[in-house]
Amino acid sequence: MSIARAALRACARLFPRMGSFNSAPKILNEDSQDNDLLLPERMTKEDLLAYCSKQLQGSGASLIPRTFRTLSVLNSSPKINKSHEIVPINDKAGIRVLQWNLLSQTLGLNNDNFVRCPSEALHWQRRRNLLTQEIVRFSPDVICLQEVDHFNYLKKSLGTQGYVGVFFPKPDSPCMYIKDNNGPDGCAIFFRSNRFELIRCETRVLEVWRVQSNQVAVLAILRDLHTGNELCVATTHLKARNGALLAALRNEQGKDLLDFVTTHCGDRPVIVCGDFNAEPIEPVYSTVTSHPALRLASAYANYQAGEPPYTTWKVRDEGEICHTIDYIFYSANNFRVSSLLDFPSGDEIGECRVPSYSYPSDHFSLVCDLLPIVNNSLQSTL
């Protein structure tokens, strides 16, 4: 038996649930900090962005610019042409997917120790407008989010654009032990209601050696209203922190996630997004991309020469942290990637990194356009 496996089994014996291991009493607050938000049921994209900008007036806030890369396959090598505009998908059958760890407001303000981030940049009344702008400006069809602790705000703001969402909290969210929390954090999926219909939603507390952890997954079966084809979308947020034991734990969570997806996806194409807290060299990455039934590929794997150099870049007490841990995985038999959202350069981000006045999270959003592969003998529903 490997040392890592023995250690994990020891953890399972000692702790009936691998939660936050916090002995402090929980503070059971409700998601109510956005009751002040008054928005009409429907707004144009331009009106919502203008509303958010107006709320930010005088704050010095302006989002870091982002650009798309369009990809064309030539002899299996991607040819990348940079576009300086946030372009819509030309193919109506395409699906634009956004993946983002939003940064929990409670944790970002109280626990994460962003030593170079001005405290004013973390105020929720300003952060929430930047979060909305970052999502809405890309007009995604499907949105996968982690560290969501203001789901009601997202329902209201994204609802003006016709998005519908589902949310599943962590069973022992660390937010619940912090004064003035807004409820537990968790994972959420939103989708355009004029594009997709929710067939059903499934949730799971991920297990490690048959012991429930504190990480969750949420899965949505969506039906395309235009074609009738169905799609399986799942998102998760795996255990954080470094070390061989934690890498082994994440790999077990990844296996449980894939079992969960396989149980519910049937023969539908699959999109799995999340903050995996694992660099591409970790076992969980190859576990996901080598699954024999799902046959998943990473949308950003050919970003330049492999995965991008970072999806998070922050400065904490222990120093500067810059690495790739967020991914969009998709059914390689059913889709091809037609464009990707670029990551800002170090100069564009600024020496204080993120979060900042110009960016509301310590993770950058990932956005890709997926086009269905037609005339594929292995293809089932698309």
Predicted pLDDT of residue 72: 66
Give the residue ranges of DSSP H helices in the chain: 3-14, 45-55, 105-110, 124-136, 151-159, 244-265, 283-289, 346-349
By C-alpha distance, which of 227, 364, 381, 370 is closest to 296? 370
What is the number of other CB atoms lying within 10 angstroms of the CB of residue 182?
A: 22
Predicted pLDDT of residue 77: 47
Predicted pLDDT of residue 207: 98
Max CA pair span of the chain = 60
* Nearest-10 Cα torsion for 281, 283, 285, 291: 140
Both tokens of residue 158? 């994204």
Which residues of the chain have a pLDDT value below 70? 1-22, 59-61, 72-91, 375-382
Exposure of 274 by Cβ count < 10 A (0-12 exposed, 13-18 middle, 19+ buried)?
buried
Both tokens of residue 291? 């699954």
Predicted pLDDT of residue 52: 96
Average pLDDT across the chain, whole number? 90
DSSP label of 122:
G
Query: Phi and psi dihedrals of 263, rounded to 5?
Result: -60, -35
What is the spatial distance between Cα 229 and Cα 200, in angstroms, rounded to a whole number?
A: 14
